[in-house]
């Protein structure tokens, strides 16, 4: 069963590549005491994800923060090295935390998976966005078609804050 508004975030570890090297990021700690705009993509460097999804959150970062968002994060079933390179390529810098879910543990724990084996990508996270307030999902927007970006955009999220 998929996660929904009102549910607590699952306890998983993400990975991030930082100046200190490969770092575990415990979801319990990451989401505690903060309002987070979280969006998930099927894959780094993929067309919609790179051309639309990340740019949407970069363009609306100030507006999201003005409405009380403390941090913006992107999660994908990719390794931390790919997520770091993709963050550099998209210019996300310190604006968007690129959280790697390399083993798909977060995707499976939320029930928001995508079978992308037909594209040679294996099991992935489907395209979605959510607002997480102190570890609790307060809004969830899952795309019917993961190649499109309608309800998971930053612009749509702004209407929910």
Quick: pLDDT tens for 35-90. 999 999 998 998 888 889 999 999 999 999 999 999 999 999 999 999 999 999 99
Q: Is residue 5 part of a domain?
A: no
CA-based radius of gyration for the chain = 14
Residue 151 lies in a domain: yes
Could you tell me if residue 152 is inside a domain? yes
- Per DSSP (E only), the strands in the chain are 13-18, 21-26, 35-40, 71-76, 96-100, 113-115, 123-125, 128-133, 136-142
Q: CA-to-CA distance for 147 and 161, rounded, in angstroms? A: 25
In a domain, residue 135? The reply is yes
pTM: 0.93
Structural domain of 137: 13-158
Q: Is residue 2 part of a domain?
A: no
Can you give the pLDDT at residue 147?
84
In the prediction, which pLDDT does 126 show? 92
- Contact call for residues 102 and 79 (beta carbons, < 8 A): yes
CATH assignment of the domain containing 127: 3.40.30.10
The count of domains in the chain is: 1
Residue with tokens 């607590």: 8
Give the pLDDT score at 1.
Answer: 74
In-domain check, residue 150: yes
Asked, for residue 35, whether it belongs to a domain, the answer is yes
Catalytic residue among 3, 9, 41, 49: 49
Let me know if 74 is a catalytic residue.
no
Domain-located, residue 26: yes
With residues binned 3-state (H G I as helix, E B as strand, rest as coil), the percentages for the chain, rounded to 5, are 30, 30, 40
What average pLDDT does the segment 18-34 reach? 96
């Amino acid at each position: 069963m998929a996660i929904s508004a009102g549910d607590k975030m699952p306890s998983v570890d993400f990975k991030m590549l930082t100046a200190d090297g490969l770092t575990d990021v415990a979801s319990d700690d990451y989401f505690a005491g903060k309002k987070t705009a979280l969006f998930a993509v099927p894959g780094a460097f993929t067309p919609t994800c790179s051309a639309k999804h990340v740019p949407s959150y970069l363009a609306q970062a100030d507006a999201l923060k003005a409405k009380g968002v403390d941090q913006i994060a992107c999660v994908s079933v990719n390794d931390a090295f790919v997520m770091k390179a993709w963050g550099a390529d998209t210019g996300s810098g310190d604006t968007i935390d690129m959280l790697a879910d390399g083993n798909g543990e977060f995707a499976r724990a939320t029930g928001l998976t995508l079978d992308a084996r037909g594209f040679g990508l294996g099991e992935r996270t489907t395209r979605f966005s959510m607002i997480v307030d102190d570890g609790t999902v307060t809004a969830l927007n899952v795309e019917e078609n993961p190649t499109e970006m309608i309800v998971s955009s930053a612009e749509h999220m702004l209407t929910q804050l």
